[in-house]
Amino acid sequence: MSAPFRRRGLVAAGLAVSSALLVTSCGAEQERVTAAAPAQPTGTVSASPSGSASPRLTDDQAQRQQLVPAAKVTWDKAATTALGEVPQSKLVEMELTWAPPGASASPDASASPSPASPSPASPSPSGSAGAQTPVWDNTVAAADGTVTRVWVDAVSGQVIRSEPEPDQDAEDKSELAARLKAATVTPQQAVKTAQGRAKGTVTAAELDDETWKVDIVDTGNWDKTTVGVSATDNKVVSEDVDRD
């Protein structure tokens, strides 16, 4: 073979080797770039920066969300009904809660209970999330301090059950009678004052020593605000917001 042909063959071979090395280098670089890029899970949609998830309600907030709209009878009407059960009595405490099954006096309930139906059980003060009937659990006291529990159906406004508080001795009655006598501010006045500090639905009221404690639920976020109102001068003495 002549020298020119040998030179052309060497040049061609060199070009072929250079091309192979270039292809190998590019392939290796592509593999490194591909390995460095994070894998995107199939079917995963990235969250929109402007999007925001709805806030999750706590258990207590969810309970209020179910209970408060279910009540059709307001606190003051329930209180008036409860006070009518005990002549010349005064309200000591009331709370909106759930009635246990079988304790409903709502309009759709049978007027005459079936003989096979058990007698309604006393509603538990703590309520039952599984029950569907809201009730007002009222505590009223006569002038001598004798306490009576009166449960009022929060849908129909009818009295479900009324019974004297057991295990109340003479000293308890005397102390309660004195506390009620000293409370010159009515629950209606205290609630009106409390509503000036917190907007929402009244779900409880209690005479605690010399203070009316009024619970108000904000139906916008289901937080509960407890406003303390002096039972002697009708001034706000405390305010606590429960966001749990």
pLDDT at position 114 over 50:
no
CA 227 to chain centre: 17
Q: What pLDDT does residue 17 have?
A: 41
Alpha helices in the chain (DSSP H): 3-36, 59-70, 75-85, 170-182, 187-195
Digit-coded pLDDT (tens) for 121-155 = 444 444 444 448 999 999 999 999 999 999 999 99
Distance, in Å, from the CA atom of 242 to the CA atom of 217, rounded to the nearest integer, reads: 9
| 72, 153 contact by CB (below 8 A) | no
Average pLDDT over residues 20-40: 44
Q: What pLDDT does residue 101 have?
A: 67
Average pLDDT over residues 19-28: 43
**pLDDT class of 54 with cuts at 50, 70, 90:** low
Residue 132 DSSP label: -
pLDDT at position 1 over 80:
no
Retrieve residue 154's tokens. Answer: 């929060």
pTM of the model: 0.69
Q: What pLDDT does residue 128 have?
A: 44
Digit-coded pLDDT (tens) for 148-190 = 999 999 999 999 999 999 989 999 999 999 999 999 999 999 9
pLDDT at position 62 over 60:
yes
Retrieve residue 45's tokens. Answer: 């949609």
Q: What pLDDT does residue 133 have?
A: 92
Average pLDDT over residues 229-236: 98
CA 82 to chain centre: 26
Q: Counting runs of H as helices and runs of E as strands, what totals does the chain give?
A: 5, 8
Distance, in Å, from the CA atom of 89 to the CA atom of 151, rounded to the nearest integer, reads: 15
| 131, 98 contact by CB (below 8 A) | yes
Distance, in Å, from the CA atom of 120 to the CA atom of 104, rounded to the nearest integer, reads: 8
| 238, 215 contact by CB (below 8 A) | no
First to last CA, the chain: 95
Q: What pLDDT does residue 18 have?
A: 45
**pLDDT class of 112 with cuts at 50, 70, 90:** very low
pLDDT at position 116 over 60:
no
Distance, in Å, from the CA atom of 139 to the CA atom of 94, rounded to the nearest integer, reads: 6
Q: What pLDDT does residue 55 have?
A: 72
- Closest by CA position to 136, among listed 42, 85, 205: 205
Highest mean pLDDT among 9-23, 37-51, 87-101, 147-161 belongs to: 147-161
Q: What pLDDT does residue 244 have?
A: 80
Contacts (Cβ under 8 Å, ≥6 apart) of 155 = 70, 71, 72, 73, 104, 106, 107, 133, 134
Average pLDDT over residues 186-211: 97
Q: Give me the chain's average pLDDT, please.
A: 78
Strand partners, 164: 148
